Amino acid sequence: MNYTRRDLGKLALAAVPVAMATAAKPNSVFGGVQVGINTPYSFHNMPDGADDILKYQTDLGISASELRLQPVERALNAPKPWTAPRGANRNSLTEEQQAERAKAAEALRKWRTSQSMDGFTAFRKKWEDAGVRIQVVKFDGIDSFSDDEVDYAFQVARSLGAQAISCEIPLSKTERLGGFATKHKTMVGYHGHTNLTSPEAFGRPGSWEQAFTYSKYNGANIDIGHFFTANDVSPAEFIKKYRDRITHVHLKDRKAHNGPNVPWGQGDTPLRDCLRMIKKEKFPFQATIEFEYPVPKDSTLLAELKKCVAYCKDCLA
């Protein structure tokens, strides 16, 4: 698809453009595995409006997304969240700054809890008409949401067509969120990094196993690169053991022993083996590109992302 940003900006959320309806749609199901992308995170430092993201995905041929909430709410004209002034220390805000932050948070809470889901349903329709499914919605700071905002989060995810939500929160907060997940019968994938020492972090396999005890809807968003480099072991067996708890996996390549992110195929991460295992076992969850290695000087971000898509396609052929 070759839409200009201006063309996309003219599209109403509920509109069904003739060109979108008739043009070839993206398809990133390779060997039965749905390859998606973590957005807008993977489009570092590029315009991150909802229309921008949709265009990047269709141009890359990626037909599924793990989409953060922020561009969705912006598209629906939500109040802007408060942001700290440049150079401000979040842990030592002035009384005036704290008041401004509280006021902005309350305005956003009121907006969220007064919303009909019609706008989110229209947002979903536009993306699906373009050939992109929103399979996971990521919520930043969901552990600080009020109860009615957490209900809103699950309702939004369902309205967008998501099979799960994802987040990065302390382990001790997963019992509360797991209760909401049980209420809404929707999986939550907790994302992990490489911290093996903090009892609140998701790095050790045991952290996810503890969260699993709180709710059958508490799940795992396993980052293959982080898991491998932190634990010095492939996550394949963990994924197979807890197949019903895996919401999606993040794809990246890293050097061993907490080494750096590198172009795919140049690291030590068993990325190819894990992709082939997902194909062999016919797991239904999304394999999600999360772009993190430095872009070479003679290349571009989108060119590198195309290489990531091609890598997945080759592995899953």
Identify whether 282 is part of a domain.
yes
- On whether residue 180 sits in a domain, the answer given is yes
Is 148 within the bounds of a domain? Answer: yes
Single pTM value for the model: 0.90
Query: How does pLDDT run across 161-210, given as a tens digit for each residue?
Result: 999 999 999 999 999 999 999 999 999 999 999 999 999 999 999 999 99
* DSSP of 160-192: TT-SEEEE---GGGHHHHHHHHHHHT-EEEEE-
The Cα 65–Cα 109 span in angstroms is 25
| Tens-digit pLDDT profile for residues 221-251 | 999 999 999 999 999 999 999 999 999 999 9
Domain presence at residue 20: no
Q: What pLDDT is stored for residue 23 in this prediction?
A: 62
Positions in the chain short of pLDDT 70:
1-23, 88, 90
- Would you say residue 44 lies in a domain? yes
Q: What is the CATH number of the domain that holds 201?
A: 3.20.20.150
At a CB cut-off of 8 Å and minimum separation 6, what does 69 contact? 137, 138, 139, 140, 153, 156
**Number of domains within the chain:** 1
- On whether residue 186 sits in a domain, the answer given is yes
For residue 162, being part of any structural domain is answered with: yes
Closest CA to 160 of 78, 72, 81, 39: 72
First to last CA, the chain: 24
| Residue 19, domain member (yes or no) | no
pLDDT confidence of residue 90: 67
Under a CB-based contact definition with an 8 Å cutoff, are residues 59 and 302 in contact?
yes
Range of the domain at 111: 35-82+94-315
Asked if residue 219 lies in contact with residue 246, where contact means CB atoms within 8 angstroms, the answer is: yes
3-class SS letters over 230-296 = HHCCCCHHHHHHCHHHEEEEEECCECCCCCCECCCCCCCCCHHHHHHHHHHHCCCCEEEECCCCCCC
pLDDT at site 93: 85
